[in-house]
A and B are shown apart, each in its own frame.
Chain A
Amino acid sequence: MKRLLLTAFVAVAPLCAQTYVIQNATVMTVSKGTIKNGSIVVKDGKIAEVGEKVTIPPGAKIIDASNQFVIPGIIDCHSHIGGDGGINEGSTSVSSMVDIKDIINPEDIAIYRALAGGVTTANILHGSANSIGGKTLPLKMRWGKDAQGLIFEGATPGIKFALGENPKRAGNPTGGAVNATARYPATRMGVEDVIRGAFNDAKAYKAEWDEYDAKKARGEQAIPPRKDLQLEALKEVLEGKRYVHVHSYRADEILMMIRIADENGFKVRTFQHVLEGYKVAKEIAAHGAGASTFSDWWSYKVEAFDAIPYNAALMTKKGVLVSLNSDDAELMRHLNTEAGKAMKYGGLTEDEALALVTLNPAKQLGIENRVGSIEVGKDADLVIYDKMPLSAYAKVQKVLIDGTVYFDRDNEVSGRAAKEAEKQKLIDKEKQTQTQQRGPQGGATPRRQQ
Chain B
Amino acid sequence: MKKLVTALLLCVACALAQNPSAIAIRNAKIVTVSGPVIAKGTVVVRKGLIEAVGENVPVPADAMVVEGEGLTVYPGLIDSLSTVGQPAAATPVTAAAGRGGRGATTPATPATPALAALAATTVVAPVPRGPEDRPQTTSWVKIADEISGTDRRIEPVRSAGFTSVASFPTRGIFAGQGAIVDLISSEKPGEMVMVSPIGQYISVTRAGGFGGGFPSSLMGYIAYIRQLYIDMNYYKTVKDAYAKNPRGMQRPEYDRALEGLLDSPRILLPANRAVEIERMLRLAQELKQPTILYGGRETFRPEAVESLKKYGAPILVSMKWPEKARDTDPDEVDSMRTLETRDKAPSAPGVLAKAGVKFALYSDGLDTARDLQRAVKKAIDMGLSREDALRALTLSPAEIYGIADRVGSIEKGKIGNLVVTRGDIFDDRTKVEAIVVDGRKYTPVVEQPNFGGRGGTPTEGGDYSGGNR
Contact = CB atoms under 8 A, between A and B. Distances in A.
B213, B231, B275, B468: most-surrounded residue (chain A CB, <10 A):
B275
A191 B215 CA distance: 21
Interface residues of A, number: 57
A436 interface: no
B278 A146 contact: yes
Interface string A1-12: 001100100000
A31 B214 CA distance: 46
Nearest to B211: A177
Interface string A90-109: 11100101111011111101
A88 B302 contact: no
B339 A426 contact: yes
Contact of B237 (A85, A91, A223, A447): A223
A419 interface: yes
Given A85-B100, A92-B130, A430-B324, A100 B452 contact: no
A228 B226 CA distance: 10
Contact of A229 (B212, B226, B234, B468): B226
A90 B216 contact: yes
B279 A147 contact: yes
A88 B204 CA distance: 15
Given A98-B219, A227-B230, A450-B450, A444 B469 contact: yes
Interface size class of B (residues with CB under 8 A): 35 or more
A217 interface: no
B219 A85 contact: yes
B127 interface: yes
Nearest to A126: B219
A102 B223 contact: yes
B218 A103 contact: yes
Contact of B219 (A103, A179, A180, A430): A103
A441 interface: no
B241 A97 contact: no
B211 A180 contact: yes
B129 interface: yes
B257 to A, nearest CB: 14
B273 to A, nearest CB: 8
B275 A105 contact: yes
A177 B216 CA distance: 12
A392 B128 CA distance: 49
Interface in A157-200: 174, 177-181
B217 A226 contact: no
A415 to B, nearest CB: 12
A223 B238 contact: yes
Contact of A7 (B219, B224, B303, B337): B303
Contacts of A445: 452, 454, 468
Contacts of B335: 109
Contacts of B276: 84
A179 B122 CA distance: 13
A229 B219 contact: no
B223 A98 contact: yes
A32 B195 CA distance: 71
A105 B340 CA distance: 18
A444 B469 CA distance: 6
A179 to B, nearest CB: 5
B324 A434 contact: yes
B130 A430 contact: no
Contact of A89 (B214, B303, B339): B214
Interface string A212-232: 000000000001101111100
B336 A92 contact: no
A177 B212 contact: yes
Contacts of B279: 84, 102-103, 147
A450 B448 CA distance: 13
A424 B275 CA distance: 25
B342 interface: yes
A91 B468 contact: no
B191 to A, nearest CB: 39
A221 to B, nearest CB: 10
B210 interface: yes
B335 to A, nearest CB: 8
A89 B451 contact: no
Contacts of A84: 98-100, 218, 275-276, 279
A259 interface: no
B222 A102 contact: yes
A444 B66 CA distance: 38
Nearest to A450: B450
Contacts of A147: 275, 278-279
B306 to A, nearest CB: 9
Interface of B: 98-100, 126-131, 204, 210-224, 226-227, 230-231, 234, 237-238, 241, 273, 275-276, 278-279, 282-283, 301-303, 324, 333, 335-337, 339-340, 342-343, 450-454, 468-469
15 contacts: A85-B217, A89-B223, A91-B128, A91-B213, A97-B130, A98-B215, A99-B219, A99-B223, A178-B211, A224-B234, A226-B231, A226-B234, A228-B227, A426-B343, A434-B324
Given A88-B217, A91-B128, 8 more contacts: A7-B303, A84-B99, A89-B217, A103-B219, A103-B279, A105-B100, A227-B234, A444-B468
